[in-house]
Structure 1
Amino acid sequence: MPSRSAAGVRTGVRVVVAGDRGTGKSSLIVAAASDSFPEYVSAVLPPTRLPSDFYPDGVPITIVDTSSSMESRVKLIDELKRADAVVLTYACDQPMTLSRLTTFWLPELHKLEVKAPVIVVGCKLDLRDERQPMNLEQVMAPIMQKFREIETCIECSSATLIQVPDVFYYAQKAVLHPTAPLFDHEKQCLKPRCIRALKRIFMLCDHDMDGALSDAELNEFQVKCFNAPLQPAEIVVVKSVVQERIRGGVNDLGLTLEGFLFLHALFIEKGRVETAWAVLRKFGYDDDLKLRDDILPVPTKHAPDQSVELTNEALDFLRGIFQLYDSDNDGSLQPSELDDIFVTAPESPWTVGPYVDAAERTYQGNLTLNGFLSEWAMMTSLDPACSLANLICIGYGGDPTSALRVTRRRSADRKKQRTERNVFHCFVFGPKRSGKSALMNSFLGRPFSSNYTPTNAVHYATNMVEQIGGTQKTLILQEIPEDGVKKFLFNKECLAACDVSVFLYDSSDEYSWKRSRELLLEVARQGEECGYGVPCLLIAAKDDLDPYPMALQNSARVTQQLGMEAPFHVSVKLRDSKNVFSKIISAAEHPHMSIPETEKGKKRRQYRRLVNSSLIFVSLGAAVAVVGLAAYRAYAARKNT
């Protein structure tokens, strides 16, 4: 049974009970399920199900019993890795079993990389020697300090049914309302991603945007999250608690953001983590504190050669956001200003690959408007759900369905001989040292460097390109390392996302030219076989160096044979690469042109034409025969009459 529905809601919780032999695992399970102490239980029980109405959260629990014998180790490991929560048992009348938790069981969970929360349970409480009392909190505090995965410690008795139902309630609660994503127990504070989510919620509830929740706004928040209003006296109590504990948590206008965050931290500290989760989930957050997929109406691509772009409405919103956060009006965003934009998102999305360092910045490292919009265009193209989620998190107030649009299939664009796309994805192929990275850096306005650094990972560069007539299009360059081409082309749909490809070679180097030609032919064959043929350009880089004598003649011949434009010569060092990007955009805007065709592809096309001609001839012949037969029958009928 899947543990989550399509909307990300839990449909079940799987709890695995483990521990030393004789610690009372099976008796605990039977007592919880039947509310009675069993006189006899088998060594290992079959999976036991507690129905959805067993606990208030309304989610059924499947309890899995395990054996600690060596013969059952493989099955035990499998069950632990599948667990949503783990109940580790020890026997209150056997102190050695408690020691075994820290010497074997908890380290074993670490070794197996089990990420599930752990509930430590002392069974057989009724059998503990009264002459040796134990303070559970004092004993478990250092253990919980060392093993952070422990959510709760509890002792119970299956014989007397003391706290037996609580064991699996806490296990379910640890799964449905986990503490770890929200609170750092070591630092005793909310975690950064939780703070960001609560900041967004606070801003959504602060309708008059005065920086505080008035009594009316606080009451509206309460009704939305818990379906019950706060009484005036209750609001007074809430504010009093905040005022006593945190300076600036309440002002003349109401509950401040600091007070709002403090209240949620207080709920968690008091063991009411489900209250914080009720708020977060009401505002659309999942267990990772990201917006749930079911509230992100991401448009569906029906074919691999379609893409997703931002609509004009979303772009206008982003331009407004840029101007709002460009506090010094210098036309660029400082890192701190960019961080402020994403302060209500799970994190700033462009601090890691493939977005980090992929857009145009000023010499001071600030992000320009073109760079800002290009990063959004790239994120929308590569990960539409992430783009839409971040749009919503930073305050996009329009209908989410109006933020993104799906483009027409590229195969349809070829037939119509035009495209309506505003964002073009370009693959950059070429051998090592051909100048791929230098070209991409020049695209972002970065100075030329003669230092060579091989590209081993995915490398992107994105910017806006102004075309003739003043229109702007966004170009995304993706460098394909030479060593990764074979693996890249192994995917039969690898070219589906490509609007145009360029092939660089060092015009002064014989090997570079020959290898670039090989790559071009490999891609051309892949396009012909898979039906994703794309416009291609051949670029002779390093034009400032003495050319390889045969390269000019051979490259002109190859491009002519393949039906492509002649090679385009550039020198990044001499800063004459600017026009090449307009040329790349122009090739992408004419999706029916510059598609290389190999000899095999030409023969295949000629064969198809021949077959089609034959079919047309046969069809015409059949039509003539039908008409002739009809005429003969009409003549015969008149003759008989």
Structure 2
Amino acid sequence: MPSRSAAGVRTGVRVVVAGDRGTGKSSLISAAASDAFPEYVPAVLPPTRLPSDFYPDGVPVTIVDTSSSMESRIKLIDELKRADAVVLTYACDQPMTLSRLSSFWLPELRKLEIKAPVIVVGCKLDLRDERQPMNLEQVMAPIMQQFREIETCIECSSATLIQVPDVFYYAQKAVLHPTAPLFDQEKQTLKPRCIRALKRIFMLCDHDMDGALSDAELNEFQVKCFNAPLQPAEIVGVKRVVQERIRGGVSDLGLTLEGFLFLHALFIEKGRLETTWAVLRKFGYNDELKLRDDILPVPTKHAPDQTVELTNEAIDFLRGIFRLYDSDNDGSLQPSEFDDIFVTAPESPWTVDPYVDAAERTPQGNLTINGFLSEWALMTTLDPSYCLANLICIGYGGDPTSALRVTRRRSVDRKKKQTEKNVFHCFVFGPKKSGKSALLNSFIGRTFSSNYTPTNDVRYVANAVEQIGGSQKTLILQEIPEDGVKKLLSNKECLAACDVAVFLYDSSDEYSWKRSRELLLDVARRGEESGYGVPCLLIAAKDDLDPFPMSLQNSARVTQQLGMEAPIPVGVKLRDSKSVFSRIVSAAEHPHLSIPETEKGKKRKRYRRLVNSSLMFVSG
């Protein structure tokens, strides 16, 4: 049974109770459920459910008892891996069971890679020897320092019912209102992603954009998040607390961003995480501090040969963002200007693969407008949900459904002999040392390097391509390492999203030509079998080196047999590569042409024609 609804809201919390034998696990669970000390408790209780009205958050809790015997170890491990929270017990009258937490249980949870928060619970408080008092905070502080996964420590007595309900309240709270995403315990500061989310919320609530929340804006924020207004005296009190504790937290205009962040840090330090979480969830954030899927209307129901693109409305918004953050008006974004755009997103999205170094930059490392829009086009193609979330986080105020559009099926484009797409996805195949990486580097303006560095993973680059007549299209080149071709083609729908494929070979190397031809035939066969045939182009790289004998004749013969264009020659340093990319886009714009046909494919087509003509004769 899933513990989340479709909107990402928790529908239940699963708490697993573990610990040494005889530490009071079963008695604790029974006492919590019945509000009475049990006279008889079985060795292991069946799962126990606390109803949704048991605690204020209105979420039911399922408590799972476990056995610590070796025979039950496999079941214990399975339950721990399924836990939302783990309660680790020790007996207050048996000091050795407390030592076992740090010598066995906590290291064991790490070894099993259990990510759930941990609540340490001392049971049998009523049996502790009064002559040996213990300061729980002093004893647990070094353990909690070592094991940051511990959320809370509490001692209780099932016999006297002291703090028994609190145990599972804290366990539920650790799941519903986790500390880890919000607060760095070591540094005692809000975490970067939490700061970014709160900054976005602050900016959304600062309607007059004066850098402060006025009393009216604070009140509106309070009503939105907690359905109750703040009294004037309460507003004065809040601002007084901030003013006394942090310089610059309050200005003449109201509560500043610094003050807003300080308040949330204060809530968390005082254990009121539910307050900050209520604010974050009201503004659409999940437990990872990313926008929830249910508020991202990304089109998901479409055919494999349909892709997602940004609409003109979204592109106009991005052009405006570019101009806004290009503070020196030099037509490019410096790294600092670029980072400023994403200060309200969970992180800057293009600092990691596959987006890092995927677009055109100036010699100074600045991002051009073409590079900026190409990065967005790439992100939309690869991860539409991530793209839409980032658009919203940086301030896209239009209807989210108006930001993305689904393209027409490529099979329909082939029949109509034209396409309406603005972004084309090209697979780049070729054997090692054929020049694939050099082609990609040339596309984004990188200087040619004679040093050979093999590409082991799939790599993407994107840029705008000017076509004859002045139209501009975005081309995405995806480099397919030779070693990855077999795995790629094993997927029946691997070519569905591909608009055009190019095959490079070193025209001075006979093996390179033969291997490229093999790759071309493999892709052609896969296209015929799957029905996702794509336009293909051959590129004779390193054309300025001495060609191997018969290279031109062989390649011309193969392309003619397959019904393709003749190979496109390019030099080692790809000085005149712009025409190559224009021809790649042209092939994608005419999806019915340059689709290679193998002999087997031609025979299949002739057979279908024969069958169809026979059926027509019989019908006549």
Counterpart Cα distance in 2 of 1:571 and 1:260:
59
The residue number in structure 1 matching 2:457 is: 457
The residue number in structure 2 matching 1:338 is: 338
Q: State the SS of the aligned residue for 1:89.
A: strand
The residue number in structure 2 matching 1:393 is: 393
Counterpart Cα distance in 2 of 1:601 and 1:437:
32
1:515-568 Cα distance to aligned partner (Å, 9 max, x none):
000000000000000000000000000111111121100000000000000000
8 Å CA contact 1:304–1:496 kept in 2: the answer is yes
Counterpart Cα distance in 2 of 1:12 and 1:119:
18
Q: State the SS of the aligned residue for 1:236.
A: helix
- Pairing 1:161–2:156 present: no
Structure 1 residues 350 and 574, CA, compared in 2 at 3 Å: closer, same or farther?
Answer: closer
Counterpart Cα distance in 1 of 2:40 and 2:402:
63
8 Å CA contact 2:439–2:574 kept in 1: the answer is no
The residue number in structure 2 matching 1:557 is: 557
The residue number in structure 1 matching 2:9 is: 9
8 Å CA contact 1:81–1:114 kept in 2: the answer is yes
The residue number in structure 2 matching 1:596 is: 596
Q: TM-score, normalised by structure 1?
A: 0.96
- Pairing 1:535–2:525 present: no
Q: State the SS of the aligned residue for 1:433.
A: coil
The residue number in structure 1 matching 2:80 is: 80
The residue number in structure 2 matching 1:507 is: 507
The residue number in structure 2 matching 1:632 is: none
The residue number in structure 1 matching 2:613 is: 613
Shift of 1:300: 2.4
The residue number in structure 1 matching 2:208 is: 208
The residue number in structure 1 matching 2:420 is: 420
Moved over 4 A (4+): none
Structure 1 residues 129 and 469, CA, compared in 2 at 3 Å: closer, same or farther?
Answer: same
Counterpart Cα distance in 2 of 1:173 and 1:618:
75
The residue number in structure 2 matching 1:441 is: 441
Shift of 1:301: 4.0
The residue number in structure 2 matching 1:321 is: 321
- Pairing 1:67–2:67 present: yes
Stretch moving more, 312-321 or 571-580: 571-580
Larger Rg: 1
1:407-441 Cα distance to aligned partner (Å, 9 max, x none):
00000000100000000000000000000000110
1:29-59 Cα distance to aligned partner (Å, 9 max, x none):
0000011100110001111111111111111
Gaps of 5+ in 2: none
The residue number in structure 1 matching 2:290 is: 290
Counterpart Cα distance in 1 of 2:302 and 2:329:
42
Stretch moving more, 412-421 or 547-556: 547-556
- Pairing 1:270–2:273 present: no
Counterpart Cα distance in 1 of 2:542 and 2:368:
29
CA-based RMSD: 0.6
Counterpart Cα distance in 2 of 1:301 and 1:425:
20
Shift of 1:574: 5.2
8 Å CA contact 2:119–2:152 kept in 1: the answer is yes
Count of aligned pairs: 620
Counterpart Cα distance in 2 of 1:549 and 1:313:
54
Counterpart Cα distance in 2 of 1:567 and 1:433:
18
Counterpart Cα distance in 1 of 2:68 and 2:444:
60
**5 Å matches for 1:24-39?**
24-39=24-39
Q: State the SS of the aligned residue for 1:380.
A: helix
| 2:439 maps to amino acid | L
8 Å CA contact 1:17–1:65 kept in 2: the answer is yes
8 Å CA contact 1:300–1:406 kept in 2: the answer is no
| 2:90 maps to amino acid | Y
% identical aligned pairs? 90
**5 Å matches for 1:89-100?**
89-100=89-100
The residue number in structure 1 matching 2:379 is: 379
The residue number in structure 2 matching 1:172 is: 172
Counterpart Cα distance in 2 of 1:177 and 1:353:
31
Shift of 1:505: 0.2
1:211-256 Cα distance to aligned partner (Å, 9 max, x none):
0000000000000000000000000000000001100000000000
Counterpart Cα distance in 2 of 1:234 and 1:575:
69
Gaps of 5+ in 1: 621-641
Counterpart Cα distance in 1 of 2:584 and 2:434:
18
Shift of 1:302: 1.6
1:282-311 Cα distance to aligned partner (Å, 9 max, x none):
000000000000000001242000000000
1:74-110 Cα distance to aligned partner (Å, 9 max, x none):
1111111110000000001111110110100001001
Shift of 1:142: 1.0
Q: TM-score, normalised by structure 2?
A: 1.00
